[in-house]
Amino acid sequence: MARKAFVVNEAIREKVRHLAGIGVRQDDIAKIIGCAPKTLRKRCREDLDCGVAEANALVSGYLFAKCQPTSRTGPLPTLRTGPPGLK
């Protein structure tokens, strides 16, 4: 007997995007939402990519704001090399 198709709804997409954004590995995200890693990559590719891109944009925006002349701290090395764990 064939398996039931894994149905992806908006709640799952949001959860995948959030988990990908905070740097959780794809294998672990698949376990959390209850599917195989291959299924996750097939059905939620855009959400995986967008989650990481959105997280990088938030971190870069924060670092850019900290590098302004009014800021006393300047995290330029992190901005140059990229946020750790989000590559």
Q: In angstroms, how far is CA 81 from the centroid of its own chain?
A: 18
Per cent of the chain over pLDDT 70 is: 77
Is 80 exceeded by the pLDDT of residue 40? yes
pLDDT for 27 equals 96
Instruction: Tell me the pLDDT band of 19, cut-offs 50, 70 and 90.
Output: very high
pTM over 0.95: no
Residues 6+ apart with CB under 8 A from 35: 6, 43
Q: What is the predicted pLDDT for the residue at 39?
A: 94
Structure confidence at residue 3 as a pLDDT band (50, 70, 90): confident
Judge whether residue 59 has pLDDT over 80: yes
